[in-house]
């Protein structure tokens, strides 16, 4: 039963984020940054509800877990905001991206990813103080699934750098 709830919740998140993205794309005059912001807002708004539905924490666990999760989410959101800034910088300049700028963006992206992993790693022990190991593992599974949906939708909005030879041929 819980697998079905998780699948339903992930599908709901995917549907909401995709609907938000499509609605944003159909609105004339909206930028890629606005699309990204709508997508991030949709996921962030639903994340806590999806965790609550799928984690199955007791009332005793909830009193300790939710304040900790809120702190965790603020730190994760900060890395997400940094990633959005890197993506915004990239999408603003990808048509004529110089090699040195491209390398800086790669380094910025990898720094954000390293920081995101560091936050996730730091909170494992904290979560283990308030939840049993299986629930901690489930929490990280749910987080990974939601992140996969977000990254899938996000990938659709990020243009790929064209090879200059390919661009010149068109």
The DSSP code sequence of the chain is -HHHHHHHHHHHHHHHHHHHHHHHHHSTT--HHHHHHHHHHHHHHHHHHHHHHHH---HHHHHHHHHHHHHHHHHHHHHHHHHHHHHHHHHHHGGG--HHHHHHHHHHHHHHHHHHHHHHHHHHHHHHHHS-HHHHHHHHHHHHHHHHHHHHHHHHHSPPPPPHHHHHH-
Query: Each residue of 126-151: pLDDT tens digit?
Result: 999 999 999 999 999 999 998 888 88
**For residue 62, is it within any domain?**
yes
Structural domain of residue 157, as residue ranges? 2-162
pLDDT-derived band of residue 65, with 50, 70 and 90 as boundaries?
Answer: very high
**For residue 167, is it within any domain?**
no
**For residue 46, is it within any domain?**
yes
Of the ranges 37-41, 68-72, 96-100, the best mean pLDDT one: 68-72
**pLDDT for the residue numbered 153:** 80
Q: What is the mean pLDDT of residues 24-47?
A: 61
**pLDDT for the residue numbered 9:** 53
**For residue 169, is it within any domain?**
no
**For residue 27, is it within any domain?**
yes
């Amino acid at each position: 039963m819980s697998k079905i709830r998780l699948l339903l919740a992930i599908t709901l998140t995917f549907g909401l984020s995709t609907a938000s993205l499509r609605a944003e794309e159909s609105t004339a005059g909206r930028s890629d940054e606005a699309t990204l912001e709508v997508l991030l807002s949709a996921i962030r708004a639903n994340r806590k509800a999806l965790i609550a539905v799928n984690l199955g924490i007791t009332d005793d666990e909830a009193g300790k877990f939710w304040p900790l999760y809120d702190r965790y989410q603020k730190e994760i959101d900060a890395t997400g905001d940094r990633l959005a800034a890197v993506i915004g910088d990239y999408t603003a300049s990808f048509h004529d991206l110089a090699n040195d700028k491209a390398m800086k963006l790669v380094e910025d992206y990898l720094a954000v990813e390293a920081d995101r992993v560091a936050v996730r790693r730091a909170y494992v022990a904290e979560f283990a103080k308030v939840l049993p190991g299986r629930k901690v593992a489930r929490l990280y599974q749910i987080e990974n699934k939601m992140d996969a949906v977000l990254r899938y939708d996000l990938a659709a909005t990020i243009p790929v750098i064209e090879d200059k030879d390919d661009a010149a041929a068109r």
